[in-house]
């Protein structure tokens, strides 16, 4: 018996050891630091930090500038650059656990890595590849210099990692995740969007707003051309803007912003031109219900009356357990002729979407930043590598324009493409995309102004100059939505025949809700609903007299905005709760926290970061867009801003084409380093609605220089 027990003990120990080996996360060999430093020494990048800590990068080549940009960004936000690399490899769950497993499975389902490896050399020009490689080389240099900050297995970062980040992420900007989640019941719905992995608030909608304005010399009071770059993003995380200025002797001179893991600036201003993006939501995703040969582990699907074999491969990733251990996961990956296939509680569905395995977004943005005039800039658009986004444009020659940009499928007329389609008809499997010229767009309108605020592309200027809906195919799925920001823009600009600089900046930061906005419609409903509750009747009286303004001194905004976001969501898009119940809840909390129903909005609506705790004007879906935690009242008694107005630029070309550029960031250049003076130094200006001057030449930058250095060079 003792021998048997001893034998069993040995087997148990061996089994445990085998299990530990099985679960131990593989760690690749450490990269050769000397080789990485040697590669970095070949770049000639100079980083000059101005008084705000903003990096101005000067390089001999575009690749040098990209190298300097990558190094500067890593200095200021290594945490999120590293996380972007995890996502670009489909390895997030290995580092963060099971909550990210659906994300990693989709990465494999979409065959992101395979497409990048197949297309990197074939579809990207040598100049683009040089810029991408330089960025990866900079990340590697910073990492070996700061190895204590680097997660195991991250190095070396490759060019393919950088491009895979674009291929993986860009479809989610036009809400691919929403289409996928519709296929699942609430009980089984996975968190499939990378957006949802970044915030405990889990608010993918609230970061998909944005504003853009372009004013031509014919509409401005002084003959200037003006552009407002006002993309709304989260204030923290993987999708928070990082401000920089990149210059090279090869013609690059772009000030703007980008995201962690991107080697170029996605929007910005050059001495010659500028552009901004706002999110649009065309129908770029189709779902097909498949008839499969068996309910469990099918191998075939029916198409045109015949059974076809699925292409079956494997998804393999690891899910973090604890310490150095992770669980290997293997799942089948099915593809039909339509595209990737998902198993859901209601059956098997194939999905086909714009940008599946598209690698050229980085090249298009790079060439947009290199363009010197409208003709070159519009030629860059023809690549159609950027999958979605409205784009508002202006330049020093007085040209303005706006395009409802999309990689738009060319579908057959007739079917309702907004719903799930039968998967057994090959005629429904589109294979081509529409030309850029077929998309809604306006260039140099007689009306002299254009705007974008995430609404229909058929109301973006004076009515006489707008496109007409009937001129465009229903198969595009162009949204009819009118945001409050769009309504207010039309109300303000249409009545102003000569727009001054002061008026433009005031309109950009407007704080009011339009009477036809979703929030004001809800307020009307609330005040006309009969109630015998004394607190509700008091709240109704306050709302009845509220003027729809969210300036910080306003005493009705707190009750209205908090009730509205709780009842209709942060973007006031769809009901989430009963408005009367939310009115009662909000009224009770305000009374408890402030001793009154009507505290000043600025007491509640705050920007809190580091040592900064300041009142803010604005609110959800107003032009001074501020999205703050609606449940902050329940927790801290205030609402801390988390998204909306963040990095903003104001470009002004005078009648001779000379540029004056101003910008602001909601926090500062080093938002992840609490020890840096630039952790929150711009926040007071941001709270006051002010801007800082952005120098565009070396001669302008040098007098402002606080730090001047060359990464990778011997010091």
The secondary structure of 455-495 as a DSSP string is S-TT-SS-GGGS--GGGS-GGG-------HHHHHHHHHHTT
Alpha-carbon span 454 to 604, nearest angstrom: 27
> Is the pLDDT score of 499 beyond 70?
yes
Q: What percent of the chain has pLDDT over 70?
A: 93
How do residues 302-352 score in pLDDT, each as one tens digit?
Answer: 999 999 999 999 999 999 998 888 999 999 999 999 999 999 988 999 999
Six-digit token string for 599: 């505290």
Q: Using an 8 Å Cβ cutoff, are 599 and 663 in contact?
A: no
Give the per-residue pLDDT at 192.
67
Distances (CA, A) of 636 to 23, 386, 538, 589, 630: 42, 41, 24, 11, 11
- 3-18 mean pLDDT: 44
Give the per-residue pLDDT at 5.
34
Total-model pTM: 0.94
The single residue listed with the structure tokens 């089984």 is 188
Give 504-508's long-range contacts (Cβ < 8 A, gap of 24+): 504/213, 504/215, 504/220, 504/226, 504/228, 505/650, 507/213, 507/623, 508/211, 508/213, 508/228, 508/230, 508/623, 508/624, 508/650
Q: Is 447 left (phi over 0), alpha (psi -120 to 50) or beta?
A: alpha
Distances (CA, A) of 140 to 27, 136, 147, 578: 17, 6, 10, 52
How do residues 434-448 score in pLDDT, each as one tens digit?
Answer: 999 999 999 999 999
> Is the pLDDT score of 206 beyond 80?
no
- 281-305 mean pLDDT: 96
Give the per-residue pLDDT at 196.
53
How do residues 183-194 score in pLDDT, each as one tens digit?
Answer: 776 666 666 666
Give 682-691's long-range contacts (Cβ < 8 A, gap of 24+): 682/52, 683/607, 683/609, 683/610, 683/612, 683/614, 684/612, 684/614, 686/607, 686/645, 687/607, 687/612, 687/614, 687/615, 687/616, 689/509, 689/617, 689/624, 690/664, 691/648, 691/650, 691/662, 691/663, 691/664
> Is the pLDDT score of 204 beyond 70?
no
Q: Write down all domains in the chain, each with its CATH number in brackets.
A: 286-353 (2.30.120.10), 518-622 (1.10.1400.10)
Q: Using an 8 Å Cβ cutoff, are 41 and 706 in contact?
A: no
Q: What is the largest distance, in Å, between two alpha-carbon atoms of the chain?
A: 100
Q: What percent of the chain has pLDDT over 90?
A: 83
Alpha-carbon span 564 to 518, nearest angstrom: 9
Six-digit token string for 404: 């409802």
> Is the pLDDT score of 60 beyond 90?
yes
How do residues 449-492 score in pLDDT, each as one tens digit?
Answer: 999 999 999 999 999 999 999 999 999 999 999 999 999 999 99
Six-digit token string for 384: 């159609």
- 665-694 mean pLDDT: 96
How do residues 365-415 score in pLDDT, each as one tens digit?
Answer: 999 999 999 999 999 999 999 999 999 999 999 999 999 999 999 999 999
Alpha-carbon span 171 to 168, nearest angstrom: 7
Alpha-carbon span 191 to 193, nearest angstrom: 6
Alpha-carbon span 79 to 452, nearest angstrom: 32
Give bridge partners of residue 607 from the DSSP assignment.
614
Sign of CA dihedral 574, 576, 580, 583: negative
Q: Using an 8 Å Cβ cutoff, are 432 and 464 in contact?
A: no
H helix or E strand, kind and range, residue 309: strand 306-309
Give the per-residue pLDDT at 198.
43
């Amino acid at each position: 018996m003792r021998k048997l027990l001893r034998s069993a003990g040995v087997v148990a120990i061996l089994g445990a050891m085998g299990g530990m080996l099985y679960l131990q996360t593989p760690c690749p060999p450490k990269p050769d630091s000397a080789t990485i430093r040697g590669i970095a020494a070949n770049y000639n990048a100079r980083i000059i930090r101005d008084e705000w800590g903003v990096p101005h990068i000067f390089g001999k080549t575009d690749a040098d500038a990209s190298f300097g940009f990558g190094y500067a960004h890593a200095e200021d936000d290594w945490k999120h650059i590293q996380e972007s690399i995890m996502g670009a490899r489909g390895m997030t769950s290995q580092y963060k656990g099971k909550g990210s497993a659906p994300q990693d499975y989709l990465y494999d389902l979409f065959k992101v890595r395979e497409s990048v490896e197949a297309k990197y050399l074939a579809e990207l020009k040598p100049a683009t590849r040089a810029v991408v490689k330089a960025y990866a080389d900079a990340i590697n240099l910073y990492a070996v210099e700061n190895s204590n900050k680097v997660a195991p297995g991250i190095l070396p970062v490759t060019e393919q990692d950088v491009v895979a980040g674009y291929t993986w992420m860009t479809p989610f900007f036009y809400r691919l995740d929403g289409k996928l989640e519709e296929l699942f019941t609430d009980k089984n719905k996975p968190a499939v969007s990378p957006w949802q992995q970044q915030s405990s608030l889990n608010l993918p909608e609230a970061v998909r707003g944005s504003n853009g304005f372009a004013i031509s010399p014919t509409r401005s009071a002084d003959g200037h051309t003006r552009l407002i770059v006002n993309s709304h993003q989260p204030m923290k995380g993987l999708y928070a803007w990082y401000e920089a200025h990149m210059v090279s002797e090869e013609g690059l001179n772009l000030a703007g912003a980008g995201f962690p893991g991107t080697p170029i600036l996605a929007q910005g201003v050059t001495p010659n031109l500028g552009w901004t993006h706002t999110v649009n939501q065309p129908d770029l995703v189709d779902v097909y219900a498949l008839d499969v040969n068996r309910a469990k582990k099918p191998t075939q699907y029916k198409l045109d009356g015949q059974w076809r074999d699925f292409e079956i491969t494997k998804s393999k990733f690891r899910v973090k357990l604890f310490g150095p251990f992770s669980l290997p996961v293997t799942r089948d990956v099915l593809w039909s002729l339509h595209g990737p296939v998902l198993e859901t509680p209601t059956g098997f569905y194939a999905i086909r979407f714009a940008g599946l395995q598209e690698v050229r977004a980085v090249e298009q943005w790079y060439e947009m930043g290199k363009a010197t005039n409208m003709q070159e800039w519009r030629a860059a658009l023809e690549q159609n590598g950027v999958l979605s986004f409205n784009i508002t444009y202006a330049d020093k020659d007085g040209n303005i324009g706006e395009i409802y940009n999309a990689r738009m499928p060319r579908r057959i007329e007739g079917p309702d493409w907004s719903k799930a389609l039968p998967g057994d008809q090959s005629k429904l499997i589109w294979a081509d995309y529409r030309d850029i010229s077929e998309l809604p767009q306006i260039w140099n309108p007689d009306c002299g102004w254009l705007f974008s605020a995430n609404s229909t592309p058929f109301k973006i200027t004076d009515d006489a100059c707008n496109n007409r809906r009937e001129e465009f195919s229903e198969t595009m799925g162009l949204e009819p939505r009118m945001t409050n920001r769009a309504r207010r823009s039309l109300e303000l600009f249409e009545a102003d025949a000569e727009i001054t600089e002061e008026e433009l900046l005031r309109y950009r930061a407007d704080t009011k809700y339009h009477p036809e906005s979703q929030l004001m419609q809800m307020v009307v409903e609330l005040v006309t609903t009969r109630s015998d509750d004394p607190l509700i009747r008091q709240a109704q009286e306050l709302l009845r007299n509220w003027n729809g303004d969210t300036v910080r001194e306003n005493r009705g905004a707190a009750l209205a905005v908090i009730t509205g976001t709780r009842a209709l969501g942060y973007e006031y898009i769809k009901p989430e709760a009963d408005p009367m119940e939310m009115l009662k809840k909000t009224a009770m909390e305000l009374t408890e926290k402030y001793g009154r129903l009507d505290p000043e909005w600025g007491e509640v609506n705050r920007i809190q970061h580091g040592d900064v705790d300041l009142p803010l004007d604005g609110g959800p879906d107003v032009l001074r867009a501020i999205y703050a935690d609606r449940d902050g009242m329940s927790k801290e008694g205030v609402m801390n801003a988390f998204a909306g107005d963040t990095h903003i630029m104001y470009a002004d070309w005078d009648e001779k084409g000379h540029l004056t550029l101003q910008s602001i960031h909601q926090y500062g250049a080093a938002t992840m380093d609490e020890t840096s003076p630039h952790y929150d130094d711009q926040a007071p200006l941001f709270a006051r609605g002010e801007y800082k001057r952005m120098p565009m030449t070396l001669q302008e930058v040098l007098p402002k220089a606080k730090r001047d250095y060359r990464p990778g060079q011997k010091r």
